[in-house]
Structure 1
Amino acid sequence: MATDPDAALMVAFQGGDETAFRSLFEKHGRAMVAFCHHFVRDGARAEELAQDVFLKVHRSAARYQPSARFKTFLYRIASNHCLNELRRGEYAARRAVESAEDGQGEPTDPDSLAGPAPTPEENMLATALGEAVEKLLGQLPEKQRAAFVLGRLEGLSYEEIADVLDTSISAVKSLVHRATVAAAAALAPYAADGKEALP
């Protein structure tokens, strides 16, 4: 039996324990919304995509092998779903219509957490940095974006990313390296205290 507690929950779900699946959703749901947000940059749509991902996990449970980490299984489904969404182009068209109808086109941040009140300068820098990161992610080729998000933001190993993206470890290293170089160039103005990036 796998030592991964998530794998144990998935095996329990395969055996008919719906509470095990709910536990997986509660544990990974918010992180999945954040992951999807890196692809579509809209909070409401990211939540929809995350729900889609867990529906796919639910329907694909019989295919899960407990020898594999559940997180790898989850992010393989999520990456494929998000990349397919981008390739179809349905999201961009839908959002353009919705923004025109309700006047709400501002992206939301699913990672926002309560904390000490930031200073106005910190607010400006955080906003500028967030916009720069989102712009960077939007400009990266699909597989570079997926590899970068999985590795740098979700903490998966090269081996796990290769499994998720169905490619070689050397290809993953190349994808992450190219994306990291692009990120370093895009975020250079925010190095040190970031004051040069503010008006």
Structure 2
Amino acid sequence: MDTQTANVAKLYETEHTRLRSIVRRLIGNSTIAEDVVQQAFTNILARTEFETGVNFAYVRQAVRNLALNHLRDVRRRREAELTGVELDTIADGRPSPEMTVLYRSELRRLLQAVAELPARRRETFMLNKVEGLSYDEIAVRMGVSRNTVISQIVAAMLALDQRLAQS
């Protein structure tokens, strides 16, 4: 064992308890505090060369940095993780099979009612509600006034409302 390793080992023996106490105050867990102190000494020993002399202040700073890194990592994990309880309370955004059947049935009824509209009214309705054209765009395309477009869409909505209410 070389002198630097012997110095680090002696420092570990004499200051281990004090360093663990510092980390325990920061983290609040004595088991993790023990792990952090051991990791700091392992990191120091793993270095191939020591640019500075290894003393208590150097080791204390290394231990403190590892403790702060641990707290930051725990905070990040806590933000990213969902517990089992939270997973159970998240609603599935997809409709149930029963609702899918119901929606498809309603869509069929609506499409049938739209198909039964007079041709001009149906075209006006589809251009506005399906293709998303404005009243002015529909008026230009169909060669009619804006008021005619509005009245055709209103009439289509009333007819659809009545037809769907009957079924």
Give me the TM-score of the superposition, normalised by structure 1.
Answer: 0.35
Larger radius of gyration: 2
Give me the TM-score of the superposition, normalised by structure 2.
Answer: 0.41
Bigger relative contact order (CA 8 A; separation at least 6): 1
